[in-house]
Amino acid sequence: MKKLFCLFLITLIALISCNRVSAKLMPKTSKEVLTQRQTGYYDTDTKSVMNAVVATLYDNDYIIEDYDETLGFIRAKKTLKAAYTNKKRVAGWSVVLAAATAYTVFSYGSTAATMYSPSRRIATELKDKTVVIDANVYINKIDENKTEVKFLPVEKVLQNADGFAFNQMAPLKVIRIYKAYPYKEFFSQVENNLQDINSLI
């Protein structure tokens, strides 16, 4: 019976582990519409736009990791805490915990240690996750007084950057941002920062 229980436990954990990295399915947003949302245009010089983009990224708590004025490229990262609970994983580990608890009862407590791992993993699933937003920004000069900006953010929910996990920095979920609002807000802030920069000239 002990061998049967162990086989059941290993199989269930393997099934749950196979689901560790997932990507959110793309909603019904065409590539053309998404490209339009990710692109902003400004009637001013490239250098001023780059300065405004950097100021906007800093205003939104991004850290600049790479900056190349010649190529018109900026890479930035932001880290925050957010609630992301995978109900399937919680349900799976709950089954494992229930099985471990039942076996502990039948073994008069001698296998109580088997309850530790699923208990910790359930706790990990229920707490806030570390979220990393990686953003690439491309600034292209169209002519002397017109500049194009492409803002490409990707959100990564880490499985558990705080300790108890298979891989502390493994992304549990990779989310590409399709909604219009984050892009509108970003480009609006760039426009406001451009006005502030131009007022100082």
DSSP string, 1-54: -HHHHHHHHHHHHHHHHTTSSEEPPP-S--HHHHHHHTEEEESS-HHHHHHHHH
- The pLDDT of residue 173: 74
- The pLDDT of residue 153: 95
Per-block average pLDDT, block size 10, for the chain (201 residues)?
A: 48 49 52 92 94 96 95 94 74 77 71 72 76 94 92 84 51 80 96 87 63
| Mean model confidence pLDDT for the chain | 79
- The pLDDT of residue 6: 52
Instruction: Quote the CA–CA distance of 5 and 7 in Å, as a whole number.
Output: 5
- The pLDDT of residue 7: 43
**What are the residue boundaries of the structural domains of the chain, listed by start?**
1-23+85-127, 38-84+128-201
- The pLDDT of residue 77: 96
- The pLDDT of residue 165: 47
Q: Provide the CATH topology of domain 38-84+128-201.
A: TATA-Binding Protein (3.30.310)
Calculate the alpha carbon distances from 96 to 140, 177, 190 in Å: 54, 34, 50
- The pLDDT of residue 44: 92
- The pLDDT of residue 23: 42
